[in-house]
Each structure stands twice: as structure tokens, then as C-alpha cells.
Chain A
Amino acid sequence: MSVCPLVLALFVVMASAPHAWAEQRGQAKEQIEFGIQVAQRGLWKEAIYRWERAAQLDPTYAAAFNNLAVAYEHAGQLAKAREAYEKALALEPNNALVRQNYDLFKEINDRATQKDGRQL
């Protein structure tokens, strides 16, 4: 009795998928933690590089996008920061910490992007 090679290949892929995901999440986590360390020392460019890498490795990791948004905000790249916050919130809509960061960001961003200068 022969097993169809296609089914076998599918089985192998399915069996290895969680392992591959965990490995990617692990690598992304390492990048995140290193990014935090350098950000705490004021090396924000390096932190951006690390968190961008983390987001590439695991595009479902909300922390990567949240941290990236914070770093973009610090760098004055407000459009990129908004995009990253929105991505983080799309991944974890109920994360109160991301929501809090985003609300604080919006306050500044709205002020900076006012077109007619009205502050009412």
C-alpha cells in the first residue's frame, strides 16, 4: 500500500508549521528585547532596526509594531508611527497598553497635523 507523496508532504508541512512559528516568534522576541535594551540607552536608530526586523520575522507580533511605533514617534516620523500603532491594534485590539500609547500619540499627532491652525 503506497501513500500518496502529496499527502505525505502536506503532513510534514503541517507538523513542522507550529515549530517554525515558535522559532520565528523566538527570534523576533530576541530582537524585541535587544531593541528595548538599546532604546533604554538612547540608541533609537538601532532599536528601530531591531524592531523592524522583529516585525519582519513575525508579522503577527503586536509588541514589535507597538515598539516600532514608539520609536517612530520619538524620531518624529508620525505617519509611520500611526501606521505601526494601527497594525499593533489590529493584531491585539484589546491590549490596553497599546491603546494607551496610541491615544497619547494621537493627541500629539492631531496637534501637529492641524491644517487650519484651529485648536478648538
Chain B
Amino acid sequence: MTARLRKTVDSFRRTAGGRAKATLCLALVAALVACTSYIEIPIETPIQPKLDVSAFQRIFIAGFIAGANEDVDANMETVRLLRSQLRNKAIMRVIDADTLPLLEVAEQSGDGTSTPPVPDQQAAAPAQEPGPSKPPVFNEEKDLEPYNHIFANVAYWKRIGEEFQQPLIVTGSVLFAPQQRSGFVQREQEVYDSFGRRQVVPVRTYMERKGFVLRPTFIFIDGRTGETLHTETFREEILYNASQQTPALSSYFELMDRLLPAFLNTLSAQKIKGTRTLLK
């Protein structure tokens, strides 16, 4: 077989333009051999929802403990984004009400043993409305800890549930903070040899990089009982070359975009598209 192929190729070489034909012939043979062993096929893997939400017809994105960031209001941006995603997916009816002033409520309830007052639907003030005191800045996870007790305050959430006709309540915390890192990174660099041929070689270089870290914790609360049904924490980060100027809001959306499918999968079935290889 090989001898016959070589003979055919040799005969091509002897004729005009034979070299091109021989190359084509070899390429075709190589392609045929390669194509016969495997095939790539697109698949869609269905993933069942993590939470059974059949008992709820409405969902209330109540707001998040997010503090202040100079460029991005992580609380309001997260509320807007989640509401819009849930509306698009039509998973449940999204309650369009003001967010809860969770920071104030957490401060008022102190250690979480007392029940803070529940603001009525109309009077609920936006969490980031400028007030007399400057909102705290959260740069680390431990900064959020003093406020976490609010999520375990069953009486408070039950009363919020009653206020909004017992929906599924989504709350939690969102840490969106700048970060800076320096160290050696591996980059690919183009080099040309003495014959002018291009090559790409890995090069280790020291780089100053800056970016953002997004660490949201989503807490799903049963509006009928005030009890936590499910908690989900994500962590995503992005780093850029220190000289690159990327707006914080754009980084925030890029990071949220990565974890949105997993958030939505908590409430509804998702199909994950991918490609797999079938073997012969």
C-alpha cells in the first residue's frame, strides 16, 4: 500500500505541477486517516436546578450587603442584573420593589437577637441613598462578617415575606474590591530565527498587575418561614496589566457574566453547551 502510494506520488512529481499534486495527494490521505478515527459533536448537557422552587410564584431580590465602592455600587448593580436576568428567563414573577436597607437593619438589630423594624414597601429606601453617615467600605471578607447575622434573622425575613406575599427572597453579600498582584507570569513571545521563520516561545516576565475580585454570596430565603433554603458563594477575579485602564463597572459585568449561569441554575434547569469527541 505504502509502495503503491509512493509510486503514485513519484509519478506526480515527474509531471508538470507534479509537486503540488503530490502534496495535495499526501494531504488528502493524511486528512482521510485523521478523519476516520474520531468526530467532534456538539452536545447540550441539561443540569437540574439545585433548589425546588415550585412552591414560589414570586421572587424578591431584596438587596445585598455590599458597602461602598468608589466606582461601582455592587448592591444596586447586582440587584438590577439579577432582576433583569430572571425576567428574561421568566422563571418566576420578579417583584419590582425598592431594595431593603440591609446595612441599617443589621446595625439596628445588633447581634441579631432583636427583631428590627420592617420597612413597608413604599417606605423602603434605596440602600445607597446618600445619608448623613458615610457607608462603610468593604475590601475584605472579614469586613462583611459583622453584618452576616441579618441573614439568620428568621423573624425579620418572615415579616418581609408577609409584606411581599411570601416570595422566594434572594439576598446576601457582594464583595467587589480592587486587587493588585505582582510576580512572574508566563507570556508567549514571537521570535524570528536567522531564516526569518516565526516562532512563539514562552517567556517568563515580572509584571505588575491589577484588577478586581468579585465574591458574592447568594442566600435564598423562604418568604413563608424566613428560613434560609440555600446558600451559594462564588469567587471570580480578573487581572490586567498595570498600565491597562479598564473601568471597574466593565470588570464587574465581566465577572458577573461568568457566574450568572450557575446562579440561574439554582432556580431553573440549564443546558450547558459543549463539544465532545466521538471515537470510531
Contacts and interface: CB of A to CB of B under 8 A. Distances in A.
B272 A36 contact: no
Contact of A100 (B47, B277, B278): B277
Interface in B161-216: none
Chain B contact surface mostly:
strand
B43 A117 contact: no
B275 to A, nearest CB: 8
B233 A73 contact: no
Closest 4 CB pairs of A and B: A63-B279, A117-B232, A76-B46, A74-B43
B47 A73 contact: no
A74 B273 CA distance: 9
Contacts of B278: 36, 39, 63, 66-67, 70
B39 interface: yes
A104 interface: yes
A70 B40 CA distance: 11
A74 B46 CA distance: 7
A117 B266 contact: yes
Interface of A: 29, 32-33, 36, 39-40, 62-63, 66-67, 70, 73-76, 78, 95, 97-98, 100-101, 104-105, 108, 111-112, 114, 116-120
Interface residues of B, number: 27
Contacts of B233: 117-120
B21 interface: no
B36 to A, nearest CB: 10
Contact of B276 (A29, A101, A116): A101
B259 interface: yes
A76 B280 contact: no
A71 to B, nearest CB: 8
